[in-house]
Amino acid sequence: MRFFTALIALASAALALEDGAYLTHVHPNGTVISYDAVTGALVETLTEGPLVDSYREAFANKTREKTRRELSKRFTSCWGTPLDRFNVDFAVGEFKAYIGSWGSGGYTLCAVPPANAYYSKIVGQVRIYYCINTNNWCGNIDLVDVNWALLQMDTHCAPYTSSYFQWDGSPEIIGKALVTTAVCLG
């Protein structure tokens, strides 16, 4: 029982972001900086801890050759981690509402060197996100893009599991994952 209680305490400490919408920059050294997507206020800067360690390990293990290969075609990846149905549905609804609020011009996100960037909506332990998976790049999505990406994920992967979709020749990704999962690594 103590182990279980300690595990819950550790997980809670690692997840400082509450339900909400965030713009996050992920630096190659693993540093994670999050801003409130509505107010622009700095919410959190992580330089150590389980999430930063997860990003550092993922950056250390990835290969540069992989990026060129993945950018050459549309790509759907199924991680397979089960996600809470209610939280996915609610997060997707909130994500779509935010993207839709930008009108027919869509939502534009830019990743400024040295960091990648993503916009995410967090509900419970679920993160729905739009990522610019490289630095020095701007992307734009609208509701058509969001619906297409979600359809591709749910067609190629089991519904309500972690996955992502990436467009042809672009570092733009829409995905869904647990908040503890390192995303947008470049």
Instruction: Spell out the domain ranges in the chain.
Output: 16-178
pLDDT digits (tens, 9 = 90+) for 88-131: 999 999 999 999 888 888 888 888 888 888 899 999 999 999 99
Look up the pTM and report it.
0.73
For residues 131 and 115, the answer to whether their CB atoms sit within 8 Å is no
Low-confidence ranges of the chain (pLDDT < 50): 1-15, 63-73
Give the single-character DSSP code of 105: G
Three-state secondary structure call for residue 34: strand
Quick one: pLDDT at residue 65? 38
**How far apart, in whole angstroms, are the C-alpha atoms of residue 101 and residue 85?**
24
Distance CA 32, CA 179 (A): 13
